[in-house]
Chains A and B, each alone.
Chain A
Amino acid sequence: MLRSRLSKVACAAQRAFSTSPKALAAKQMTVRDGLNSALDDELARDDRVFLLGEEVAQYDGAYKVSRGLWKKYGDKRIIDTPITEMGFAGIAVGAAMAGLRPICEFMTFNFSMQAIDHVINSAAKTFYMSAGAVNVPIVFRGPNGASAGVAAQHSQCFAAWYAHCPGLKVVSPYDTEDARGLLKSAIRDPDPVVVLENELMYGVAFPVDETVTDVDFLVPLGKAKIMRPGKDITIVAHSKAVETALLSAAELAKKGIEAEVINLRSIRPLDMQTIFTSVRKTHHLITVENGWPQHGVGAEICARFMEDPAFFELDAPVWRCCGVDVPMPYAKTLELNALPREPDVTAAALKVLGKK
């Protein structure tokens, strides 16, 4: 069900662009395969790159993101760790300080809390503390945010926590192109990068052309993408919430409202220029995220509008759609109501536009 809705969304997005021969020649690739191929490319390209984490090798990855890599690259490059996040994150950071390019996988970012001291104090701050002597070229990656039915301790979104810290870069891919291109850029970047994937997106296929499958395809860090152009209202989202935003844009289109949907791709740096430019056109803005509201991504975007001349382009206040401010429940109905869905986003858009 989810896939057919998504292919509808993908088609809706595509209809906005002309059907070139390239688009027609596009093949389907899941987000998982986008990540897998990114890892494969970068392992082949640079001997210093290696992957460590729980179940990444012989199990082929808890979510099969690293499928086939251990068979191809062996024990030296793909390393299974015991269930000791603080220890293996520290080992990964130490290896990065000493010149390697580790990719440290957290089975989910919930477990990164056990290792967060190494992400922040050992990785993010070291370049500055050493006055530019020691950079830490490490990638921390794994699924972030809500999955389905995994309850409170396994459903938290860490975008706001990591994006708070200078010295880190934080990206949050939505589709296959995002996942593949951002992960490749992250691995090649000389600073610590946190890659917040989404488990529910792993199995979703998107059309990709041969530029995307090219071995040097990169999506630049710090740049947002306009998924769907529009003139009436800007909807900004990241990760899975981009899908919700696109569904809402399709609903709004039925009412004659053309929404411009921006996929942030990066949380830090935050591409405010793309959002300001969009709002100069649409004069209305809402943000959509699955994370909690307080001190979240949407809150940051609101604050930035307050401090920029683009504030005067707004015809109405910015409004946020966020995950409900409660720990994630297990029961299905409760869980469904805990995250913003298309009707919530559409209602917010209509409210901001002053329409019913």
Chain B
Amino acid sequence: MLRTLSRVSELPIIVKQLQKNAAQAGVAKTNNYATEATVQVNRPFKLHRLEEGPETTVKLTKDEALKYYTQMQTIRRIETAAGNLYKEKIIRGFCHLYSGQEACAVGMKAAMRDVDNIISAYRVHGWTYLMGVPPLGVLGELTGVQSGCARGKGGSMHMYCPNFYGGNGIVGAQVPLGAGVALACKYKGNGGMCLALYGDGAANQGQVFEAYNMAYLWKLPVIFVCENNNYGMGTSAERASCNTDYYTRGDALPGIWVDGMDVLAVRSATEFAIKYVNEQGPLVMETNTYRYSGHSMSDPGTSYRTREEIQEVRQKRDPITSFKELCIELGLITTDEVKAIDLKVRKEVDEATAQAKNGTELPVSHLWTDVYSNNLEPKLRGTNGYDIDHIQERKGVNH
């Protein structure tokens, strides 16, 4: 493959052939450093009931490259730290890691506007961070200390922040909830939409289809996103679904299949989808992705798939590595900049991990704090009698 490189700063477009990604790229350069590039999305989108799909030629600026890389790397480090904390038995209960799926969340977030919303299931540590909670807010919630974003009262599956509705433990429940958030956007006329995420396992839930149906009838601005990582716990997609083309399961609803390991493809698809749902009605987006860990920390993840399969994805399709290599090839970031980000992220997450480990839990009085926004119970019952007074600290965002 030939590479032609011209370093004349007034030439806006330079065509480059990339070996690894077989992508067509154009680069805008000033002062011999690229500030913007044009990239061809690697794997084509698949469309269901759509004449036109998302843009396959996308722009990427240096700032965006740094941002997406930093975000994906931070999520990866948070998840690694969480896995280690779990093995040390400092995180208890459930812990579902997002490692391998980073490009989905980062790509979607990149397309979201301030007015947009997102709701997902339990594999949400990465989303919580992207929606504005610092690593300590995530890790502290996992270790159950006060610095957690729900002060330790929610745990891994119940993290919330503005425009992010969790963190939901019941498989599939978040899908109609997300359609409801979209209904609120339309009702209020704020131009916002809601991403309602679920996995290949949840995709067969009846309430998902109920949500599709009503969203279509009422033209709700909701993007139903199936993050298909090929396994619902230990059951492969083929063993659980009669139709594994999840982007077509909306039937009358149009659908898009996206390579979920390609952050730019996910971003492009989400931009298209946001415009579509605001103008026409709901659609279904399937991001084909992969999780390196088991379903949760109690699952080694090797009884139902081979180690070779996991290794192959790590080597050939890792979302962070391939994005890094792309950006370096395009001249948007240097290996030094990458190293600097890696160090910075590691330091930040390591500090947060230490604080999460050493943090203090809420005092016991929080057991009976904020059960109700408007408490009317004269006394709450403790284990042995009606001897507790409800404490009100907060009223809630919808008071």
A153 in the interface, Cβ–Cβ < 8 Å? no
Q: Indicate if the CB atoms of A307 and B386 lie closer than 8 Å.
A: yes
Report the minimum CB–CB distance from B371 to chain A (whole Å). 5
The 8 closest A-B pairs by CB, nearest first: A94-B180, A87-B210, A90-B176, A135-B396, A132-B394, A98-B184, A132-B370, A94-B177
Most buried by B among A91, A93, A95, A220: A91
A98 to B117, CA, bound (A): 9
Q: Indicate if the CB atoms of B175 and A90 lie closer than 8 Å.
A: yes
A159 in the interface, Cβ–Cβ < 8 Å? no
Could you mark each residue 215-239 of chain A with 1 if its beta carbon is under 8 Å from any beta carbon of chain B, else 0?
Answer: 0000011100000000000000000
Chain B residues in 8 Å Cβ range of A97:
165, 177, 180-181, 398
A82-96 residues with Cβ-Cβ distance < 8 A to B are 82, 84, 86-96
Q: Indicate if the CB atoms of A79 and B218 lie closer than 8 Å.
A: yes
A121 in the interface, Cβ–Cβ < 8 Å? yes
Chain B residues in 8 Å Cβ range of A269:
376-378
- A side interface size, CB within 8 A: 51
A165 to B44, CA, bound (A): 50
- Say whether, besides A94-B184, A129-B153, A136-B398, A122 and B214 are in contact (CB < 8 Å): no
Contact partner of A94 (CB less than 8 A), chosen from B150, B165, B366, B374, is B165
Chain B residues in 8 Å Cβ range of A91:
176-177, 179-180, 183, 211, 214
Q: Indicate if the CB atoms of B207 and A129 lie closer than 8 Å.
A: no
Q: Indicate if the CB atoms of B398 and A135 lie closer than 8 Å.
A: yes
A277 in the interface, Cβ–Cβ < 8 Å? no
- Say whether, besides A87-B176, A87-B213, A94 and B154 are in contact (CB < 8 Å): no
A1 in the interface, Cβ–Cβ < 8 Å? no
Q: Indicate if the CB atoms of B214 and A93 lie closer than 8 Å.
A: no
Report the minimum CB–CB distance from B22 to chain A (whole Å). 42
Q: Indicate if the CB atoms of B211 and A131 lie closer than 8 Å.
A: no
B373 in the interface, Cβ–Cβ < 8 Å? yes
B173 in the interface, Cβ–Cβ < 8 Å? yes
A317 in the interface, Cβ–Cβ < 8 Å? no
Chain A residues in 8 Å Cβ range of B370:
127-128, 131-132
Q: Indicate if the CB atoms of A167 and B372 lie closer than 8 Å.
A: yes
Could you mark each residue 151-171 of chain B with 1 if its beta carbon is under 8 Å from any beta carbon of chain A, else 0?
Answer: 111100010110001101110
Report the minimum CB–CB distance from B215 to chain A (whole Å). 8
Q: Indicate if the CB atoms of A122 and B168 lie closer than 8 Å.
A: yes
B312 in the interface, Cβ–Cβ < 8 Å? no
- A–B complex contacts, Cβ < 8 Å, 16 sampled: A76-B187, A84-B207, A87-B209, A90-B180, A94-B177, A94-B183, A99-B397, A130-B153, A131-B151, A131-B153, A131-B366, A131-B370, A133-B160, A133-B161, A134-B396, A137-B399
Most buried by A among B170, B173, B209, B398: B398
Chain A residues in 8 Å Cβ range of B385:
307
Q: Indicate if the CB atoms of B154 and A129 lie closer than 8 Å.
A: yes
A273 to B386, CA, bound (A): 12
Could you mark each residue 324-345 of chain A with 1 if its beta carbon is under 8 Å from any beta carbon of chain B, else 0?
Answer: 0000000000000000000000
Q: Indicate if the CB atoms of B206 and A86 lie closer than 8 Å.
A: yes
A76 to B189, CA, bound (A): 12
Chain A residues in 8 Å Cβ range of B398:
96-97, 99, 134-137, 190
Q: Indicate if the CB atoms of A166 and B214 lie closer than 8 Å.
A: no
A177 in the interface, Cβ–Cβ < 8 Å? no
Chain B residues in 8 Å Cβ range of A210:
none
- Say whether, besides A90-B207, A97-B181, A166-B371, A84 and B158 are in contact (CB < 8 Å): no
A306 to B185, CA, bound (A): 50
Q: Which residues of A contact B (CB under 8 A)?
A: 50, 76, 79, 81-82, 84, 86-100, 117-118, 121-122, 126-137, 166-167, 169, 189-191, 220-222, 269, 273, 304, 307-308
A79 to B214, CA, bound (A): 11
A291 to B317, CA, bound (A): 59
Report the minimum CB–CB distance from A200 to chain B (whole Å). 28
A222 to B165, CA, bound (A): 30
B217 in the interface, Cβ–Cβ < 8 Å? yes
Q: Indicate if the CB atoms of A94 and B176 lie closer than 8 Å.
A: yes
Chain A residues in 8 Å Cβ range of B161:
133
A307 to B385, CA, bound (A): 7
Chain B residues in 8 Å Cβ range of A84:
207, 210, 213-214
Contact partner of B187 (CB less than 8 A), chosen from A86, A95, A136, is A95
Chain B residues in 8 Å Cβ range of A86:
176, 206-207, 210
Chain B residues in 8 Å Cβ range of A93:
176-177, 180
A134 to B169, CA, bound (A): 16
Chain A residues in 8 Å Cβ range of B386:
304, 307-308
Q: Indicate if the CB atoms of B397 and A134 lie closer than 8 Å.
A: yes
B372-389 residues with Cβ-Cβ distance < 8 A to A are 372-374, 376-378, 380, 385-386
Report the minimum CB–CB distance from B274 to chain A (whole Å). 17
Known pairs A94-B165, A117-B173, A131-B394 / 7 extra A-B pairs, C-beta < 8 Å: A94-B178, A96-B398, A98-B185, A130-B153, A133-B160, A134-B396, A135-B397
Q: Indicate if the CB atoms of A133 and B183 lie closer than 8 Å.
A: no
B369 in the interface, Cβ–Cβ < 8 Å? yes
Report the minimum CB–CB distance from A286 to chain B (whole Å). 22
B393 in the interface, Cβ–Cβ < 8 Å? yes
Q: Indicate if the CB atoms of B183 and A190 lie closer than 8 Å.
A: no
Contact partner of A167 (CB less than 8 A), chosen from B151, B170, B371, is B371
Report the minimum CB–CB distance from A82 to chain B (whole Å). 6
Please give me the residue from chain A that is nearest to B180 by CB atom.
A94
Please give me the residue from chain B that is nearest to A125 by CB atom.
B158
Chain B residues in 8 Å Cβ range of A126:
166
A89 to B177, CA, bound (A): 9
Contact partner of B377 (CB less than 8 A), chosen from A87, A92, A100, A222, is A222
Chain A residues in 8 Å Cβ range of B206:
86
B188 in the interface, Cβ–Cβ < 8 Å? yes
A92 to B151, CA, bound (A): 27
B119 in the interface, Cβ–Cβ < 8 Å? yes
A132 to B371, CA, bound (A): 8
Chain A residues in 8 Å Cβ range of B366:
131
B395 in the interface, Cβ–Cβ < 8 Å? yes
- Say whether, besides A90-B176, A94-B178, A191 and B372 are in contact (CB < 8 Å): yes
Please give me the residue from chain A that is nearest to B154 by CB atom.
A129
- Say whether, besides A91-B214, A99-B188, A133-B160, A221 and B376 are in contact (CB < 8 Å): yes
Contact partner of A132 (CB less than 8 A), chosen from B168, B181, B185, B395, is B395
Q: Indicate if the CB atoms of B374 and A189 lie closer than 8 Å.
A: yes
Please give me the residue from chain B that is nearest to A132 by CB atom.
B394
- Say whether, besides A87-B210, A130-B150, A307-B386, A122 and B160 are in contact (CB < 8 Å): no
Please give me the residue from chain B that is nearest to A81 by CB atom.
B214
A130 to B394, CA, bound (A): 10
A169 to B211, CA, bound (A): 27
A137 to B173, CA, bound (A): 18
